[in-house]
Amino acid sequence: MKSIGARLAICYVLASTVTFASLFLAGRYFVEHHAIHALDLLNQSEFEQIRASQTALGTKPSEAELRKRVQAMMSDKLELFFTEIYGPAGTVVFRSPGLHGRDMVPSPRHQAFNVDVGGLGELRAGKFALGPYTVVVATTKEHVRVVMTAYEHTFYGLLIVMIAISSVIGYGFSRMALRPLRLIQDTADHIRSDNLSERIPLSGARDEISDLARLLNQMFDRLEASFDQIRRFTAEASHELKTPLTLVRLQAEKLVVDGQLTPAQEQAVQIQIKELAHLNRIIEDLLFLSRADARAISLDLRPQDPEPLLQNFAQDAHVLAEHRQQRFFLTHHGSGKAAIESKWIRQVLLNLLSNALAASPPGSRVTLRSTLVNQCWQVRVEDEGPGVAAEQRERIFERFVRIHRPGDEDKGSGLGLAICRSIVELHLGHIFAEAGPDGRGLSMVFEIPAVTPSHTAGNIPFNAPLHSTDAA
């Protein structure tokens, strides 16, 4: 069972049930003990009456006189007591008619004992001395059995009620006890790399949960400081690298322009220029991501119809697809406007298209499906490549994560999809990857909120809440 609250509630119910059952067993023992003791006192009282009635006969009455006196006294007892008198030789002097000739053999070691008489059930008997005679007085234990049966029935009824009540109390207790943990869980779930400033509220109590929250807040402080340090380092290092790289590239280009290099040297310098350009693009991408993480990029988001942007993009997309011996298709459905900045959305589309073309074999098709309905602009870029495993789809939007495909010579930097995610987030949307149609290929999907007719054209504030960017 995964829920701690459920385990706490069950433990509470079990503890209550065991405690209640233990009290019942102890109570049953004492109730039955006192009820039997009361029967012993009744037998003692009945013998005292017999002894009082025989006082006039002396200390050694004859068997006939004793029998006559006891019979006279038993006539009005309505068989509440069963009496049996043994003579000195062990012969039966008197036996109650209700015994129907059955003996109540006295215990040689105990004065009070239980005896089972056929037809009468179990009796509680007491052995007493009356001169030379032994008197056994007994009464039925049926009343004790009735009382104990009622006691057990009451216990079972109360047990059911107790389990129901303790279940409710246990559930409420677990909810109350785990409320601080749920608060910690909710707060920790909201803390992400772009929201490290939030902290878990601390109560005034000095208990284990407060100590845990305090330790987690200290850990989040360290994480925030580490993230800030990494972001500053990335931004500052990228910025500082741009100038020397530019100088190196200019010097290399100057060597080529001077024309004093051998063909082999010129080829080596051209390779250096190409790699310097690639490195410069990586630095630009890192600078963009650092600025996006720091929310230092402001977009001029204006409501506009995305169809002209898509039609203009489709012209370049057809050229790129033909260059790779592939086909490009565009479909757009719905009407309306979305708050976008065209140049950034175009960059997202180009990145997604480049990845789709690189993943698809020659002769395949790449399809861009645009839908603008239900106050949401959704764009899907579908390829016919080998696709990406489900567990990898959650990581492809992270920095420097690249999916290896057989025959893929484009090493890339692993920053393209991370940039796409940042741009889409700046547009208050989210992006994710999923399997292509019929499970073939890969579909890259981003969604941006559409603008309702009540919104007017103009800048949309950047500090609006962002949607979650978890991959679907």
In this structure, the answer to whether residues 30 and 132 fall within a common structural domain is yes
19, 23, 25, 26: CA torsion to nearest 10: 140
Is 47 part of any domain? Answer: yes
- For residues 339 and 448, is the Cβ–Cβ distance under 8 A? yes
At 449, the amino acid letter reads P
Helix (H) or strand (E) holding 107: none
* Model pLDDT, residue 259: 82
Of 293, 317, 343, which marks where a domain is finished?
293
Is 162 part of any domain? Answer: no
- For residues 380 and 348, is the Cβ–Cβ distance under 8 A? no
Instruction: Write the pLDDT tens digit of every residue in 250-294.
Output: 888 888 888 888 888 888 888 888 888 878 777 777 777 777 766
In this structure, the answer to whether residues 441 and 306 fall within a common structural domain is yes
Low-confidence stretches of the chain (pLDDT beneath 70): 1-2, 55-60, 74-79, 192-195, 230-231, 233-239, 293-296, 403-413, 452-472
At 132, the amino acid letter reads P
Is 174 part of any domain? Answer: no
* Model pLDDT, residue 467: 31
- For residues 329 and 367, is the Cβ–Cβ distance under 8 A? yes
265, 271, 274, 278: CA torsion to nearest 10: -140
Instruction: Quote the CA–CA distance of 392 and 442 in Å, as a whole number.
Output: 12
**CATH number of domain containing 316:** 3.30.565.10
- Of 393, 394, 399, the residue nearest 412 (C-alpha): 399
In this structure, the answer to whether residues 214 and 105 fall within a common structural domain is no
Q: Which long-range contacts (CB under 8 A, 24 or more apart) does 300-303 make?
A: 300/341, 300/459, 301/339, 301/340, 301/341, 301/427, 301/459, 301/460, 301/462, 302/339, 302/340, 302/341, 302/457, 302/458, 302/459, 302/460, 303/337, 303/338, 303/339, 303/451, 303/455, 303/456, 303/457
- For residues 200 and 213, is the Cβ–Cβ distance under 8 A? yes
Is 239 part of any domain? Answer: yes
In this structure, the answer to whether residues 352 and 335 fall within a common structural domain is yes
In this structure, the answer to whether residues 264 and 316 fall within a common structural domain is no
- DSSP label at residue 196: -
In this structure, the answer to whether residues 240 and 314 fall within a common structural domain is no
In this structure, the answer to whether residues 245 and 318 fall within a common structural domain is no
In this structure, the answer to whether residues 229 and 287 fall within a common structural domain is yes
Instruction: Quote the CA–CA distance of 88 and 69 in Å, as a whole number.
Output: 18
- 127: Cβ–Cβ under 8 A, 6 or more apart, which residues? 106, 107, 110, 111, 112, 113, 134, 135, 136
Look at phi and psi of residue 201 and say left if phi exceeds 0, alpha if psi is from -120 to 50, else beta. Answer: beta
Based on the structure, what is the number of domains in the chain?
3
CA 245, 247, 250, 252 torsion-angle sign: negative
Structure tokens at 259: 């024309």
Of 293, 315, 338, which marks where a domain is finished?
293
* Model pLDDT, residue 195: 67
**CATH number of domain containing 51:** 3.30.450
Instruction: Quote the CA–CA distance of 86 and 128 in Å, as a whole number.
Output: 11
Which runs of consecutive H residues, i.e. helices, occur in 324-406?
342-359, 390-393
In this structure, the answer to whether residues 105 and 234 fall within a common structural domain is no
Instruction: Quote the CA–CA distance of 425 and 462 in Å, as a whole number.
Output: 10
In this structure, the answer to whether residues 282 and 307 fall within a common structural domain is no
* Model pLDDT, residue 116: 86
Is 281 part of any domain? Answer: yes
For strands 365-373 and 376-382, give the pairing.
antiparallel
SS3 assignment, position 294: coil
Is 467 part of any domain? Answer: no
49: phi then psi, degrees, rounded to nearest 5:
-65, -40
Q: Which range marks the domain in which residue 413 is found? A: 302-451
Is 472 part of any domain? Answer: no
Residue 108 CB neighbours (<10 A): 7
In this structure, the answer to whether residues 271 and 374 fall within a common structural domain is no
SS3 assignment, position 353: helix
Is 181 part of any domain? Answer: no
In this structure, the answer to whether residues 140 and 232 fall within a common structural domain is no
**CATH number of domain containing 216:** 1.10.287.130
* Model pLDDT, residue 405: 56
Structure tokens at 288: 């963009």
Of 111, 130, 146, which marks where a domain is finished?
146
SS3 assignment, position 80: coil
Both ends of the chain: CA-CA distance in Å?
A: 28
